[in-house]
Chain A
Amino acid sequence: MVDPTAEASPQPLPEPYEQCSQYRHWKHSAAELQHLRQKVNLKAAARVRKAVAEQQELTRIPAPEPVCITWDEQLQYCQYYEERIRAYCRKLQFDRFVEATALAYFKRFYLRNTVMEYDPKLYLMTCLFIATKVESAHISLATFLENIHKSPSPDMMIELEFSLSKGIRYEYMVHHPFWPLHGFLLDVQNYISSTHPRPAHEHLFQKLQRCYSRAEQFASNATLTDLTFTHMPSQIGLGCLLAAARERDFEKELEQYLASRFHAKLDELVKLRIALDAVADAVVAQSTKPPIAKEAAAAVFKKLQGCLNPEFDPESPL
């Protein structure tokens, strides 16, 4: 008698992507993200009210009950500073990897922390500075600070580095959609050369190239969205290619490619289509979305002055 369970295969090995910290600790659905942001905000607001009350007891200076900012105000406020990160990257001529990594750190940090306790103006610089180290584009701290408007002192910067690192769980590796996108470009090229007659190649390659350039812009925009949390880099890369194909009259060819590439696994193709459509919609929406107005950010800033946690203020008696 053969025991069927005796041959039970050992647990399947995890997929490569399942091994990275980005998947293990920073993957959330859109619903989870919203829940988490609300929760972090409510907890922070409670801490602020408690600290303000305690401070009042100590100093005997009456203070108004703080009106805390909401989770979506924080999100807007952070998005405003994400634009600033991009601006600094252009100014300091950092490449897209430094930019995307800094943005990912910023998003991860403020997913679990509040602007009422940690000032995004300081943390955006810290994200950038650590990203230059991680992405092998390091510049000296002195040079970096010279180029930053209202820069903190070097000593403070070091403290910020540790604080940020803790907030991102010391997980510095971030995977971006750029490499997968490039991989798909090569794969689609292969597909074209193996399935189309030679005279058609030149024309199709040109179309693909135009499509790819547009997709690169989309991929760069994707780093500003929550796709970083919700989708895998390869899904984002391919989704960007799909969005670009729709714009650049290449959709038919890309559909054929997808069908031929995944025809053996139909249910997976269906799932993939859903993910790709979501990505394509999100990147197109992001590229038409106006940047957060300075006034809107200023309004949050003003409100923020009334609800900063005094425990995080070095001048507070607490």
Chain B
Amino acid sequence: MQPRSYPATTAASRWSHYIKEKKVGEGTYAVVYSGWAIPTPAQKLEHELATDDTGERDEVARDKKILTGVALVCEPDGRRKIAIKKFKIGEYKDGMDKSAIREVKVLQELKHPNVIELIDVFSYKTNLNAVLEFLDCDLEVIIKNKNVAFSAADIKSWMLMTLRGVRHCHANFILHRDLKPNNLLLSKDGELKLGDFGMARDYGDPHRKMTSMVVTRWYRSPELLLGAVRYGYAVDMWAVGCIFAELMLRVPFMPGDSDIGQLQTIFRALGTPTEADWPGMKYLPDYHAFEQFPRNPLRNLFTAASPDALALMESMLLYDPLKRPTAHDALNHFYFRNQPRPTPPAKLPRDVDKAGSKAKEAAGVDPEMHARGKRGNDEDGIDDAHAVRRKLF
């Protein structure tokens, strides 16, 4: 089959067109293809900009400024490897899929070395396509590769990059709402980038309710599990805490087998919260009397962790969302200033012999897909989220 080619959306783009090569993955909401971005000949670009009097030059200059610090990896001939994410139509009767719009909306604004780069967007027939930088590895794959050992410095490096990406999102009032190792993508030079913004949304308006049906179950915070419809940065921080633990344990820290079971799993690991641990939890919509589990010191489970690492992890896994650190606080934690220094990205462990990807494939259907359940709908408000939940139970 002749590879398909699509022109860039703006004339003064540094890419003239994109070539779709082959399918590399398929999720519930999108199909991902690998491909190439073909550069606009320098002369043509110069001519385009020189003859333009509609402000394109200013725009290009402004675009350039925000991309300083973001490495641009190209082939010797100037082509750039890309991923094309083609969004499935979804509920066609309502036109363009709104989670696709939401993902594009968010990624257009987030330009940061630790956030996946959205290069362009185009539509073909009635499909929306996002042109993204190509990242073929993720943290889940590395965690699953039992041939590689992680040092404390490696874990610190991944945590640092994750938190930098998360801080950038939160500074733009955007919640990711689906942080998990599978969505922490890794570039060829070892840089970690947040990916899959399909659940992301802007936050901070106290008058707007949000759905609690977000975040893959094992990384879902207790306030979400109790049906909170007003929440904030702390839901992402809980997930980062779970990822931190998973990097040390090399298996998911709190793998609940169902949505109700997840709370039990958390309580078993961290102890059932008391009113003092989490004032106000009784007022959450789905609060009920919990089975009491004693609090076990995390030290018993994380025997090799340094005290500073444990302190940071514990703070991110506090029951009271208001007590969890912000990404900014976490980055200022002494864990990041103490020895060992974080490993430079280029020297981080790789998926040696592809053992990690094979392990992931062998597991068959992504077990996390099951844990994900149905995507929440912020608009439908609480009532609808409850309906969804009843169906799931």
Contacts and interface: CB of A to CB of B under 8 A. Distances in A.
Interface of A: 11, 14, 16, 18-21, 23-25, 28, 32, 35-36, 39, 112, 129-130, 133-134, 136-142, 154, 157-159, 161-162, 165-166, 169-173, 179
B54 interface: yes
A21 B172 CA distance: 12
A170 B9 contact: yes
Interface in B60-83: 62-63, 65-66, 68
A161 to B, nearest CB: 5
A136 B94 contact: no
Interface stretch (B101-109, B338-346, B355-363): B101-109
26 contacts: A11-B65, A11-B68, A18-B65, A19-B111, A24-B59, A36-B54, A133-B98, A136-B201, A140-B93, A140-B94, A141-B93, A141-B94, A142-B93, A158-B92, A158-B126, A159-B126, A162-B126, A166-B9, A169-B121, A170-B121, A170-B128, A171-B105, A172-B104, A172-B105, A172-B108, A173-B108
Contact of B66 (A18, A130, A133, A138): A18
Given A136-B378, A162-B126, A18 B62 contact: yes
A9 B26 CA distance: 44
Contact of A14 (B66, B93, B96, B108): B66
Contact of B96 (A16, A137, A165, A169): A165
Nearest to B124: A162
Given A23-B62, A166-B9, A137 B379 contact: yes
Nearest to A32: B55
A39 to B, nearest CB: 7
A121 to B, nearest CB: 18
B95 interface: yes
A158 B96 contact: yes
Residues of B contacting A: mostly: mixed
Contacts of B102: 133-134
Please name the 5 residue pairs, one residue from A and one from B, whose CB atoms are nearest each other, closest first: A172-B105, A170-B121, A133-B98, A24-B62, A138-B379
B118 to A, nearest CB: 9
A157 B92 CA distance: 11
Contacts of B201: 136
Contacts of B354: none
Contacts of A134: 101-102, 105
Interface residues of B, number: 37
B53 interface: yes
Contacts of B128: 162, 165, 170
Contacts of A39: 53-54
Contacts of B55: 28, 32, 36
Contacts of A137: 379
A140 B380 CA distance: 11
Contact of A170 (B95, B104, B378): B104
A158 B127 CA distance: 10
B101 A25 contact: no
Residue of A23, A25, A130 with most chain B CB atoms under a 10 A cut-off:
A25
Contacts of B9: 166, 169-170
A32 to B, nearest CB: 6
B171 A16 contact: yes
A290 to B, nearest CB: 32
Contacts, number: 97
B292 interface: no
A154 B101 CA distance: 18
Contacts of B104: 170, 172
B306 interface: no
A157 B109 contact: no
B123 A162 contact: yes
B95 A24 contact: no
Interface in B344-372: none
A165 B123 CA distance: 9
Interface string B110-154: 010000000001010010100000000000000000000000000
Contacts of A21: 108-109
A170 B96 contact: no
Contact of A133 (B10, B59, B101, B208): B101
Contacts of B171: 16
Contact of B105 (A112, A129, A154, A173): A173
B67 to A, nearest CB: 9
Contacts of A19: 66, 109, 111, 172
Contacts of A171: 105, 108
A25 B9 CA distance: 13
A11 to B, nearest CB: 5
A152 B191 CA distance: 48
A130 B59 contact: no
Contacts of A129: 95
Contacts of B96: 130, 133, 158, 161-162, 165
B100 to A, nearest CB: 10
Given A161-B96, A173-B106, 8 more contacts: A11-B68, A14-B68, A16-B171, A39-B53, A141-B95, A142-B93, A157-B95, A165-B123
Nearest to B96: A161
Contacts of B101: 130, 133-134, 172
A256 B98 CA distance: 46
B197 to A, nearest CB: 12
Contacts of A165: 96, 123, 128
A72 B92 CA distance: 38
Contact of A173 (B98, B109, B121): B109
Contacts of B10: 169
A179 B171 CA distance: 15
Contacts of B208: 136
Nearest to B121: A170
Nearest to B209: A136
Contacts of A159: 126
Contacts of A157: 95
A134 B108 CA distance: 13
B219 to A, nearest CB: 22
